[in-house]
Amino acid sequence: MRRLLRGLSGGIAAVVLTAASVASAGTLDDVRKRGHLQCGINTGLVGFAAPDDKGVWRGFDVDLCRAVAAAVFGDANKVKYTNLTGKTRFTALRSGEIDMLSRNTTWTFSRDVDLQFTFVGVNYYDGQGFMVPKKLGITSATKLGGASVCIQTGTTTELNLADFFRVGGMKYEPVPIETNSEARSNYLAGRCDVYTTDASGLAATRAATDNPEAHVVLPEIISKEPLGPVVRQGDDQWADIVRWTLNAMVAAEELGVTSKNAKEMAAGTKNPEVNRLLGNEELQGRETLKLSKDWGVNVIAQVGNYGEVFEAHLGEKTAIGLARGLNAQWKDGGLLYAPPFR
């Protein structure tokens, strides 16, 4: 009987997996039939995904959702958002509750292979850091032995934190939290000595406090955190649409195409790659994605190129004040590099 049950269990699992694979195919058709893109974003992280004073969600990750909507519908506003924690994001994606995840999520081996998701690219190169109250006088993460640390559950930061303290021969007291707002309130209330997450998240959290100068982001970066959009495995067409929407934004910055000149340049330029990006010359394979000829124009004109989006939400003139660093174009010493549009 036990053997039979095991056999049935295996068969059911296979059916479930097959059903999941079938369900994940045809995402584009599902999205168009529904009339909008359903995009998974953060529960609230200034600069990446947060509501403005009118309740409209804005941010770096939000704009990637809007860009995909512009590519698919020709209208960046045809998108709705699902707010997800570190724990709930993958379940929502796997179940089909969302069409894509654009929520500062780290690309790792196990998430890609074991969880069977597809990371379509990196839109922000980051690393894990630490933030402490300035009054503690701590200047290095190597001096954090015995500290209590606010840490988001269901994230790579949990594992990175354990590794860092183990290698350093230090002990710490974890204070588990689920959202950035919960982390901020616990940290500011003194329920933990330290807050650790991606350095960009620390900058956003610090900027959202009443007195940013009272908090210090320590210099140590203890991990590599390539953040990017995620889709379900099994639908290559949809993965390509999200991937090449991101690539279009990166390439547009390199090629000098902006939200202000995209429509004008779509009439034709001396640069063949610009012409292919903007639909003035044929781009082989576009029909396979079932996108309009001017999909690239819609993305850039309605949302902006990568640099415009970065500077609007995260750049040095914003409250967060992040320099481009690794997220600069490859010609400027960064890691951003879009494959050719040809």
Residue 283 has pLDDT above 50, yes or no: yes
Helix/strand/coil percent split, the chain, to 5:
45, 15, 40
| Residue 139 shares a structural domain with residue 119 | no
| Residue 201 shares a structural domain with residue 316 | no
Whether residue 171 lies inside any domain: the answer is yes
Specify the pLDDT at position 245. Answer: 98
For residue range 236-256, list pLDDT tens digits in order. 999 999 999 999 999 999 999
Give Cα 65 to chain centroid, integer Å: 10
Whether residue 297 lies inside any domain: the answer is no
Measured over the CA atoms of residue 167, residue 172, residue 173 and residue 175, the dihedral's sign is negative
| Residue 24 shares a structural domain with residue 121 | yes
The residues pairing with 124 across neighbouring beta strands, listed in sequence order, are 227
pLDDT band at 4 (very low <50, low <70, confident <90, very high): very low
| Residue 242 shares a structural domain with residue 208 | no
Q: Which two three-digit tokens encode residue 201?
A: 């998240």
CA end-to-end span of the chain, whole Å?
59
Whether residue 67 lies inside any domain: the answer is yes
Report the number of distinct structural domains present in the chain. 2
| Residue 82 shares a structural domain with residue 154 | no
pLDDT band at 199 (very low <50, low <70, confident <90, very high): very high
With 0.75 as the threshold, say if the pTM is over it.
Answer: yes
For residue range 293-315, list pLDDT tens digits in order. 999 999 999 999 999 999 999 99
Whether residue 182 lies inside any domain: the answer is yes
| Residue 149 shares a structural domain with residue 110 | no
For residue range 5-58, list pLDDT tens digits in order. 333 334 334 334 433 444 445 999 999 999 999 999 999 999 999 999 999 999
| Residue 58 shares a structural domain with residue 101 | yes
Q: Is residue 187 exposed (0-12), middle (13-18) or buried (19+ Cβ within 10 Å)?
A: buried
Whether residue 318 lies inside any domain: the answer is yes
Specify the pLDDT at position 22. Answer: 41
CATH code assigned at 216: 3.40.190.10
| Residue 119 shares a structural domain with residue 167 | no
Helix (H) or strand (E) holding 158: helix 156-167
Give the contacts of 253 (CB within 8 A, at least 6 positions apart). 305, 306, 307, 308, 329, 336
Average pLDDT, the chain: 92
Cα torsion 198, 202, 208, 213 to 10°: value is: -170
Q: Is residue 91 exposed (0-12), middle (13-18) or buried (19+ Cβ within 10 Å)?
A: exposed
| Residue 168 shares a structural domain with residue 135 | yes
| Residue 75 shares a structural domain with residue 189 | no
**Closest by alpha carbon to 57, among 68, 70, 43?**
43
Whether residue 281 lies inside any domain: the answer is no
Whether residue 312 lies inside any domain: the answer is yes
User: Half-sphere exposure of 302 toward its Cβ, with a 13 Å CA cutoff?
Assistant: 23
Kindly state the average pLDDT of the residues 210-230: 96
Whether residue 338 lies inside any domain: the answer is no
Specify the pLDDT at position 155. Answer: 84
pLDDT band at 181 (very low <50, low <70, confident <90, very high): confident
| Residue 219 shares a structural domain with residue 231 | no
Domain that holds residue 246: 13-125+227-255+304-332
| Residue 133 shares a structural domain with residue 70 | no
